[in-house]
Amino acid sequence: MNKNFKNVLIFLSVSVLIIASLSSCNSVINSDTNTTTQVDQSISEVSSNEPTEEAMTETEVIETNPPIEYFDIPSYTLNFNDSTPYDDADGFISEDEENVVLKSGANYTLKGTLNNKRIRVVEGNMPEIFITLDGFNVKGSIDSLILIVDNCVASIELADKSSNVIAISDVDQSKYQDTYHNAAIFSRNLINFFGNGSLTIKTDNESSIESEDSVYFISGNYTFNTNGDAVRVKNEVSFKSGNYDITCGDDAIKAKSDTDGHIVVEDASMKINAGDKGFTSDGIVTVYGGDINIDSYGESISGKVVALLGGDINLKSGDDAINSTDGKQDKKSNQRGVYTKIANCNLYIDAVMDGIDSNGDLYLDSGKIFIDGADNNNERIIDYNGIVTYGNMLEFVGVGPSSKMQDLGEDENKNYIIVYYKDPMNVKKASDEIIVKDEDNNLIISHTTKKSYYAVMIASPLLIPGRKYIISTKGKTVEVMLEPGKNEIYDR
């Protein structure tokens, strides 16, 4: 492990422990930048207003004073393919019937295959442990195969080009009673994952990874296959980079702490197939970039605040694709502090129910948004309880039902078109290409739909009042002389 990077992780780990200790004493940290609590307070103050930049910033790193003094820590290699997996380890390593016990305050490299025993971490002389997985395979019917229950922050490195596997099956939960930990990797504190190797986790009903604090994925290649949740935390889960292939029977990424769970994606490649929700948080979901593909039976992305601020995002949902809600107030009311904000990203949605559903405000600032909404007239392309605004640089095509249409607002400085196909005989079919051209035959915008629809809503910075536009679909053409603001056309 790079020593400088290890020192950075030590610094961050100790900072996290200090913050947690201060929180437990109900201390208040005052700063111009935002802690997670301050982020939540910012959210609660937003109602029918453009969200502040502060509401989208990440949790600060609080410097400690006096500065941390770094120590060289001992390193041990355990190769479970050898008859004697490790040498005398000065009391840092021990074994019992179910556990290989590692004390924190050291760096461990794990190799080979470990059968029906877990790696259990206990607190040593420092509150950090560094584990490098280098061709390590562990499998068994034990509840957690990497278990960190003491007051210890773990950093897990995937060695370059290494392939590592954790597999749990046929766990007898009654054997563990109140001590059952429902995850392949379980920790009560922060876990950091990084490196250029791969980690595959296979479980029956257990989660792949669970932390009662936070999990930070810095880099690496991950495959999670489980009938339960894939990653579950109480505070924050973040993805700085890396590749993630997730198949789960429940939620893929869950951050639940009653008020301020946070999911952050900076620049990751994610392919998710979820039996329930994709990303779900009771706080903020923020995407800054990356390539994200979610196919979910439930909502693809849900949170009190959903902020999609970059990247290529494809959502296929058996429910609302995006849902902003606090989960407490009346769903029909304008929920204070709840909003969806979309900017600078390429977003495609295929939803059985609403494409975007905000129980508060809806801000469509910029980027490209294409929505194939439901053909059920009880659902909507976009659904919001508060206000809606959109930016002049937005490119938008949404198709869906017409009877409960919510539009993009009444701002005469923002120009858009809605075409209603009233006659059921004129319903537009899946695979229609919607083409919008101006009177000089210049292409304005186009979209090939995957759903049947009764209405289409179109916005583009190239729509200019006083010019004629032609909207073409299979076997049908309508024209509009554009006026400022909303333009509605009824195809009868």
Q: What does the H/E/C string look like for the chain? A: CCHHHHHHHHHHHHHHHHHHHHHHCCCCCCCCCCCHHHHHHHHHCCCCCCCCHHHHCCCCCCCCCCCCCCCCCCEEEEECCCCCCCCCCCCCEEECCCEEEEECCCEEEEEEEEECCEEEEECCCCCEEEEEEEEEEEEECCCCCEEECCCCEEEEEECCCCEEEEEECCCCHHHCHHHCCCEEEEECCCEEEEECCEEEEECCCCEEEEECCCEEECCCEEEEEECCCCEEECCEEEECCCEEEEEECCCCEEECCCCCCEEEECCEEEEEEECCCCEEECCEEEECCEEEEEEECCCCEEECEEEECCEEEEEEECCCCEEECCCCCCCCCCCCCCEEEECCEEEEEEECCCCEEECCEEEEEEEEEEEECCCCCCCCCEEECCCEEEEEEEEEEEEECCCCCCCCCCCCCCCEEEEEECCHHHCECCCCEEEEEECCCCEEEEEECCCCECEEEEECCCCCCCCEEEEEECCEEEEEECCCCEEEEEEC
Going by C-alpha positions, the residue among 316, 238, 216 that lies closest to residue 273 is: 316
In a domain, 475, yes or no: yes
In a domain, 440, yes or no: yes
Total residues belonging to the chain: 492
pLDDT at residue 2, as a whole number: 53
Total domains in the fold of the chain: 1
Going by C-alpha positions, the residue among 407, 405, 360, 357 that lies closest to residue 383 is: 357
In a domain, 358, yes or no: no
pLDDT at residue 72, as a whole number: 76
In a domain, 131, yes or no: no
pLDDT at residue 173, as a whole number: 56
The residues near 88 (Cβ < 8 Å, ≥ 6 apart) are none
In a domain, 445, yes or no: yes
pLDDT at residue 362, as a whole number: 97
Tokens 């766990």 correspond to what residue?
Answer: 171
In a domain, 54, yes or no: no
Rounded (5°) CA angle 165-105-154: 40
Q: Which two tokens stand for residue 231?
A: 């990653």
Going by C-alpha positions, the residue among 458, 369, 360 that lies closest to residue 407 is: 458
CATH number, domain with residue 469? 2.60.40
In a domain, 474, yes or no: yes
What parts of the chain have a pLDDT lower than 50? 7-8, 10-49, 52-70, 180, 425
Cα–Cα dist 394/414, whole Å: 10
Instruction: Quote the distance between the C-alpha of residue 373 and its chain's center.
Output: 22
pLDDT at residue 22, as a whole number: 33
In a domain, 9, yes or no: no
Q: Which two tokens stand for residue 29?
A: 């940290």
Cα–Cα dist 217/211, whole Å: 13
Rounded (5°) CA angle 45-58-242: 140
Domain that holds residue 482: 394-492
Cα–Cα dist 47/51, whole Å: 9
